Structure 1
Amino acid sequence: MFAKDILARLVGFPSVVGTPNGALLGFVRDYLAGHGISCRILTGPEGDRANLFATIGDASTPGYILSGHVDVVPAGEPEWLADPFVLREEAGRLIGRGACDMKGYVAAVLAAVPDLVAMDLSRPIHIALSYDEEAGCKGVPHLLSALPDLCAPPLGAIIGEPTGLVPVLAHKGKASVRVTARGVPGHSSRPDLGQNAIHALVPVLAAATAQAEALKAGPQDLRFAPSYSSLQIGTLSGGQAINIIPDRAEARIEARAIAGVDPEALLAPVIAAAELAGLESEILSSYPALALDAADPLAALAQAISGHAPLGAVSFGTEAGLFQKAGIPSVICGPGDIARAHRPEEYLTLEELEGARAMVVALGQRLSG
């Protein structure tokens, strides 16, 4: 199958984050089996979605992982001009939800499989597909915990998020927390008879805004924009009507950390304020920053196969930090532009798709003989 045809099949599976992905993984499993490659489907604790891992070559020899997530963000925006889960081509653009982020990379990897199978690889190439990346990288930790039983310790991982096929060496880490306040409802004319849950959140919101301001003067890393770690209140909800005392309120707060800073630690003042106010707090997601040394052999390899010199850093996050934390040097390098992700009429160009396939084939060629 051509890369475009594979991408059309992948986009056709509405694998929205938090929903089952068995049909998509079944397609990939059958495709790989058609080329003599077996794979492991690793079901997550949710029970209805899974990761996939496959190896081309000798799994007992250290090799390289090509990693991508197969979940996508929802596509409910009215600006879509056609069904977002039916790939369409217009003037060289392949349009559909996930085409850029990041089923295009997955399609390119799969399209290169026949070439890789025909090579005499001295080191294996692994294909790792994960779920629920868009919910804070929730799926890939389960895959990483299973790696010791799947292959020899890998030499590196290439995570194919959209970077224009420019290798990226670093990104920020992220953690998010949900703080919930519960009150006692009643008529707003008698606040003395109720407890206002939104009011109860105020100390937490104050702690969050104070921490956000303080971080601006904290450690700096000029590779990032902004150059400091950051924190924001992302959502605030509660209340039914202006004349009803709110009996429940919720705030979701995220922190993004420069390399070397623990993103969960940035949330400590928020969590402390919640505890002091007697409110519930729950960490929703957390992944570390990525920081690959420019002198690491993986950086040189990524440059050689992509044809582009590495970029120091980006501010968006990926699963690469989790691979690094697991002891696997990691770099981000995939087709497309992150500015097209999570938007209506998301697209990848044919040229970008074929460029990604060529990069994967080039990796195989460097590992042959």
Structure 2
Amino acid sequence: MTPQAMLSSLVAFPTVVARPNGALIDYVRDYLASQNIASAVVAGPEGDRFNLFATIGPADVPGYILSGHVDVVPANEPGWQGDPFRLRAQEDRLYARGAVDMKGFVAAVLSAVPELAAMPLARPVHIALSYDEEAGCRGVPHLIEKLPTLCAPPLGCIVGEPSGLVPVLRHKGKAALRITARGRSGHSSRPDLGHNAIHALLPALGAIAAEAERQRRDGPTDEHFLPPYSTLQIGKIAGGAALNIIPDNACAEIEARAIAGVDPLTLLEPAMAVVANGEALSAEIIASYPGLALDESHDLARLTAKLCGNAPLAAVSYGTEAGLFQQAGIPAIVCGPGDIARAHKPEEYITIAELQATRQMVLRLGQELCAGQASAPATAAR
């Protein structure tokens, strides 16, 4: 199957984040079974969303993971020129929701399965598909937890987020927090008889603003990133019904992005301390994943550069699941087709040439792992 045909099949499943994805997972499992490749399906606690893990080659020796998420952001924006869940070709471009972020990578990998299965692999190629990456990497931790029962400790993981097929060595980590305030409603002319929920949020929001300034001023810093320090922002706030009514509820959502080596959750601690001391406040962590930092000299960096033909890039501003693999002791790198600037907008697309180049990268990985070629890198995970 060509990568274009596989992509057409994958985008037809409207696997919007936080919705069921079982039909797509069943399709991939059946496709792999047709190539005599068994799959392990790892369910999440939601009960209607699933990860998938498959191994091509010997599972009892270390190999490499090709990882991608199969959820997509909603496609409700105006500006689509056709059904976003039906692949549409125009010259070299293939338009659909998820075409570049990131079903294109998944399609290229799956299209290469018959050729990989025919190779005399001395080390395995693993395929890992996850859910709800767009909601803060919620699905893949359940898969990573099961990996020791599914394969030998992997030598590395290539996460195929759109990077122009350039290996990415670093990205920031992220944590997101929702703070809710409860108040007591009443007429604004008698604030003494009510409790203003928006006012109750202010100390926590002030703590976030102060921490953001402290990070900017005092660091720590990492010059690989722009900006070179960890950041915080209050990205969303809601509350109140009318100007002359005391608001009885209010909510704010806060984002922290941490340079590699800094736990993004620690950036939220000043706000959490305020919440802990406020009777009307509650807080919920709604997303969290670590940063990524792979040294330029690492064998995985050298291998990925050889496979794609591009020198590694020091860092990017967006986040991926790669940090979670690295946190679990699996060296990880980001390298996938297309431009991240096309994602999360109408008329998202990938090109046929980008799909073909990714397919060739996957096949070159297989060739590197064939008998007579494969050897264990000195920096392999053990």
Common fold: TM-score over 0.5? yes
Return the offset for 1:239: 1.3
What is the TM-score when the length of structure 2 is the normalising length?
0.95
Deviates more, 1:63-72 or 1:238-247: 238-247
Confirm or deny that 1:293 pairs with 2:295: yes
Where does residue 26 of structure 2 map in the other structure?
A: 26
Could you tell me how far apart the structure 1 residues matched to 2:182 and 2:9 are?
46
**What is the total number of aligned residue pairs between the two structures?**
369
Structure 2: how far apart are the matches of 1:179 and 1:40? 38
Which position in structure 2 is the counterpart of 1:250? 251
RMSD in angstroms over aligned alpha carbons? 0.8
Correspondence 1:1-369 to 2 at 5 A:
1-217=1-217, 218-278=219-279, 279-369=281-371
Deviation at 1:241, TM superposition (A): 1.9
Deviations 1:199-253 (A, max 9, x none): 1001111111111111112111111111111000011011122222111111110
Kept in 2, the 8 Å contact 1:320–1:330? The answer is: yes
Alpha-carbon distance in 1 for matches of 2:44, 2:314:
33
Q: What is the alpha-carbon distance in structure 2 between the residues aligned to residue 187 and residue 22 of structure 1?
A: 50
Shift of residue 44 of structure 1?
0.4
Q: What's the offset of the Cα at 1:187?
A: 2.0
1:203/1:277 contact within 8 Å kept: no
Letter in 2 for 1:249: A
**Could you tell me which amino acid in structure 1 is paired with residue 285 of structure 2?**
I
**TM-score with structure 1 setting the length:** 0.99
Aligned partners of 2:239 and 2:24: how far apart in 1?
37
Between the aligned partners of 1:170 and 1:229, the Cα distance in structure 2 is 14
Gaps of 5+ in 1: none
Q: Cα distance, 1:356 vs. partner? A: 0.6
Structure 1 stretch displaced more, 201-210 or 16-25:
201-210
- Measured after TM superposition, the shift of residue 357 of structure 1 is 0.5
- What is the rounded CA distance, in whole Å, between the counterparts of 2:241 and 2:54 in structure 1? 50
Deviations 1:131-166 (A, max 9, x none): 000000000000000001100000000000000000
Counterpart AA for 1:107: A
Q: Displacement of 1:277 after TM fit? A: 2.6
| Separation in structure 2 between the aligned mates of residue 258 and residue 348 of structure 1, nearest angstrom | 30
1:234 and 1:174 map into 2 onto residues whose CA distance is 13
What amino acid does structure 2 have at the position aligned with 1:355? A
- What CA distance in whole angstroms lies between the structure 2 residues aligned with 1:93 and 1:187? 58
Taking only the aligned residue pairs, the percentage that are identical comes to: 64
